[in-house]
Amino acid sequence: MDILLDYAFLRTVWWFLIGVLFFAFATMNGMDLGVAAISSVFFKKDEHRRVLLNTVGPVWEGNQVWLILGAGALFAAWPLFYSVLFSGLYLAMFGVLCALILRPVGFKFRSKMPSKTWRTVWDICIGIGGIVPSLGFGLVMGTMISGIDFYFQDDLRLFVTHHPKHLLHPLALVSGLLWLLLFVTHGGIYLTMKTQGEICAKLQRALPLRLWVSTLMVFLLFCVWQITVPQHIVIGVHDGPSNPLLKSVMMLPRMEGWFPSQPFMWVSFFIFTILTVLTALVMHRRPGIAFTLSALRMATVIFSMGYGAFPFILFSVTHPDHSLTVWDASSSKLTLVIMLFAAVLFVPLMIMAAQWVYRVLRGPVTVEGVNKNKDHWY
């Protein structure tokens, strides 16, 4: 019990739990976003698009809980991180929020009228609601490593420079494209479990290319990371108060060469490649296993990005000593303890509820079913 109440340990636990919540969001909500992007871009027939939308129609609202839970946990566990991130990337976050609003509105209104123009407009909205948040999630993940222009005064008043260059950093751009591709691939694998015939066959033909391109993108991410982001070493205490001004940060020169030199990068890339091979081998006959493997691929990327930056959670480009770490950006010890007990109690219940829903709604969605229930389904 003593170690559970240790402040440094609690901070590390919540760093890990935030990664778990990111993984849950990528697995569940990323699937929905991928399906939205696929339905609007890769399919032209109205009945095919309706099939795809109805594969996630009963579950997308429940999956949104992981997004809300993740944002709430960030606010409660890492208030300084939350304030810097949402201040420095305010316009980008606002754009993602608008896109997230478009997606459910598109679901609800798309099939209210038979007009082709009406449905095309809402299909575009649904596509935007799938592509923009997927890209935004990756951009934010990359920006957490590449850094933002911010600093604190002595009284911890925050000053952030708003500039599009934060999202145009090479690492952020590669990360954004990678996560968009991962979500589209993940959503495509889910659709192979929920569709049949022509739709399923088209998805299966397109998946291998996406799998291997995403593998190359992971390697590119590590390469760009190495040559564009200096190494940071924090000098300070682990169990002190949450004050980013109490530490010093030493910056080492960038690595030379394009190939990753950090051992964790090679290990992560090897694991990701093995998971890709296994996914490609089983996706035609065992799509359920392929879906699990796809989720593990995303978990590998999340762990790699978190572990590679640890103990930093957000770099300051202009004032490296003011960068936020696991040790100096958290809430109070009491807050972390209360949140930990709440997470241990409620997160398993949420997982069990989600499993029950997917079990009840198992089985494929067909064109015949959509035509039969065209007045009631999406």
Strand positions, DSSP E, the chain: 150-152, 158-160, 231-235, 248-252, 312-314, 324-325
**pLDDT tens readout for residues 266-293:** 889 999 999 999 999 998 889 889 999 9
* Residue 167 belongs to domain spanning: 7-217+330-372
Cβ count near 207 (within 10 Å)? 23
Categorize the per-residue pLDDT at 134 as very low, low, confident or very high, splitting at 50, 70 and 90. Answer: very high
In a domain, residue 49? The reply is yes
In a domain, residue 198? The reply is yes
**pLDDT tens readout for residues 42-77:** 888 888 888 888 888 888 888 888 888 888 888 899
In a domain, residue 259? The reply is no
- Cα–Cα distance measured from residue 222 to residue 207, given in angstroms and rounded to the nearest whole number: 23
Give which of 88, 93, 57 is closest to 162, Cα–Cα.
88
Kindly tell me if the per-residue pLDDT of 2 is higher than 60.
no
Task: Write down the pLDDT at residue 303.
Answer: 92
Where helices occur in 154-196 by DSSP H, the ranges are: 170-194
In a domain, residue 274? The reply is no
In a domain, residue 227? The reply is no
Q: For tokens 């940060």, what's the residue?
A: 249
Task: Write down the pLDDT at residue 44.
Answer: 86
**pLDDT tens readout for residues 335-374:** 999 999 998 898 888 888 888 888 888 888 887 877 777 7
Look up the pTM and report it.
Answer: 0.92
In a domain, residue 275? The reply is no
Two tokens at 13? 């636990």
Number of domains in the chain: 1
Cβ atoms of residues 247 and 287 within 8 Å:
no
Q: Can you spell out the DSSP letters for 46-89?
A: HHHHHHHHHHHTTTHHHHHHHHHHHHHHHHHH-HHHHHHHHHHT
Kindly tell me if the per-residue pLDDT of 332 is higher than 80.
yes
Residue type, 90: Y
In a domain, residue 288? The reply is no
In a domain, residue 248? The reply is no
Task: Write down the pLDDT at residue 103.
Answer: 87
Cβ atoms of residues 250 and 222 within 8 Å:
no
Kindly tell me if the per-residue pLDDT of 260 is higher than 80.
no
